[in-house]
Chain A
Amino acid sequence: MIAVGRGYSVRQMVRTAAYRAVTPVLSVLLAFLVSAAIILAVGTDPIVAFGSMLNGAFGSQTALATTGVRMTPILFTGLAVAVSFRAGVFNVGAEGQLYLGAAFGAAVALLPIGLPALVHIPLALIAGFIGGAVWAFVPGYLRAYRGVSEVVTTLMLNFVAIQLVSYLVDPLVGPIGERGAAYAQSSVIDPAAKLPILLRGTSLHAGLLLGLGLAIALWVLIGYTRLGFRMRMLGANPIAARFAGVKSAREIMTVMLLSGGIAGLAGAVEVIGLRYRLFDHFSPGYGYDGIAVALLANSNPLGVILSSGFFAALRAGANSMQQATGIETSVVLIIQALTILFLIFRPLRDWIGSRAGRPPRLAQDTLIDAA
């Protein structure tokens, strides 16, 4: 997968990338095809619908900015999930980790400590990372040392996290809730903790750059460091990894904490970059979107950039599509779901051929260990 500097010729790399891209691209096309049929059935011209979607996503500077804003959180959560997938760990708890990261980040960002942005922002981000990692700790521990499946535990904790944040910003009793507010929200964060805006007049903030940087950093981590090698070993063949001396428990813990932390960053970045407050129920499912994003990108961090951009474009374009044609924004969800369904529909994969890169082996078969 990670091909640069490994000795592949450019031609080989391009070919491999092309092969690896075929399945996702084909899945997307098929999803659009089916959605077009649905749109047609509802009485609208799909070409017009998709055209307005395209326009809404890329048609103007504002549109691009909107796409970028939508892309940021799912870029982070996509990376979080991709990292876990690579190591054979199934972190479906990105949503909850995102909330905890937002809470920790907001807590730090709210502090009127009078620090310059250069210090306050990194502090808030670190807090966000820690928040997400903390939330991933228990499921990670249970998986690493007790063999308990991380799927149901992380899933349940998502809801706990949402409620926890809801409590924190409760207008009546929440510790950081703004009293007397119309919505459940925290106060505005310290101005020094706000991320700079990239494009004047829009909401596009530096979080996107952070995400892109993180994606590259993770690409380097997975492909070029010892930790990354261990993660890939674990994800590809945990048995052989054990025979080669890898301590799987420790690695799984590390991966879960890393994954959780990155998801936590997603939340913190949303708070200090976009909303400047911690809101109740502020995430429309970014954590779950991260799963789709990671899947479409075959858990490749650079691919996540593309797939998160794609899904963001869908969402950004959906609003324009609704305004122009009256088609519900929820059609985008249908496209997203169909994309995944086509992606996991094996014959499509097999048809592309075995050279088209395998997805990471997922930890399905390590539900509670009897032994």
Chain B
Amino acid sequence: MRIEINRDKCSGCEECISSCPFEAIVMHEGKALINELCQICKMCITVCPEGAITEIDEGEEQKTVQEGKGVWVFAEQREGKVASIAFELLGAGRRLADELKVELSALLFGSSRLEAENLVKWGADKVYFCDNPIFEKFNDEPHAQLLSDLITRYRPEIVIAGATPIGRSFLPRVAARLRTGLTADCTSLAIDSETGNLLQIRPAFGGNIMATILCPDCRPQMATVRPRVMKKGEYREDRKGEIITVNADNLISRTRVIESVKDVCEIAVNLHEVDIIVSGGRGLGEPKGFKLLEELAGLLGGAVGASRAAVDSGWIQYRHQVGQTGKTVCPKLYIACGISGAVQHLVGMQSSDTIIAINKNPDAPIFNVASFGVVGDVYEIIPLLIKRLKESRETGNP
């Protein structure tokens, strides 16, 4: 299979050149010409306004996977600080790279050289680091452009990023541009020992089923990975690696971040980042029940979650909502207070390590996913638990 340009039809408009992700088309005597970098991605065929580009099937159809080598991890940062998902990705990436016997590289756009060096200590053999000020705030286009360019140049076989608001927003642009697959929100990654393909396992249909996804014929194989599922890499102060400074000019962004507004809340609402979530539902009966949960969450160093019923009742803001139309979380401990456990809520929290459920109704479905179930009154159990936690703290005797 190859791509051919009909020189008589070609008008020399150069549309195909800008569409080509592989820099495989050049201008020659006013006409487009395809060179040996062509990956037969067929992007040019779609954009050519003259219909001058066609695919020639030479009969000996043979599916060849585009070559690629190495595992890449996108290390996202906010205000210069690398997010904890990056260390989890390095843990997962290290495992994949060792199995494939290839290098593990991290990509850091924005932030500082110090943070880049830190990524080496967390397991990266190489760090591609770009300190262009355009990355100070998150905008999709420059991220997509630089990552696509680097992938085209260095051809990794696997690229993973966090399934965070950042990773889930710009990675799709990269996949679209490079004509490759992207699997969202994976909870497990492995290498198929026979083919060497990446097995990408993810929940689908609201967590009712799990699916294994493959990207057999395109490279790189790309996935976003759910935060707090993979084990962090091993931090070693003495690990050595290479920092490669990437110069990126001509990056543009047509979106502009005017301001970043942090949640002003005494207790964290970043449900993806905390180990413990204390969550409340309609069973609390009134908004002030959340004051109690906040107090418990504060004592445990956790955050407050909520069911949709509680959010819809106006007792707490949407950003606390856990479940299908809210956030999917998997903390070490999830304490469900007065939550009956509709499927839509369960799919958002059932992969938590430990679940404690407190509900008056012994038949509440929440008990089906609970590690510990308490049939009882939240207003009896939680204040007592708070009291005992405070006492043990005061006596210094945990």
Same complex for A and B? Answer no
Chain A residues near B (Cβ < 8 Å): none
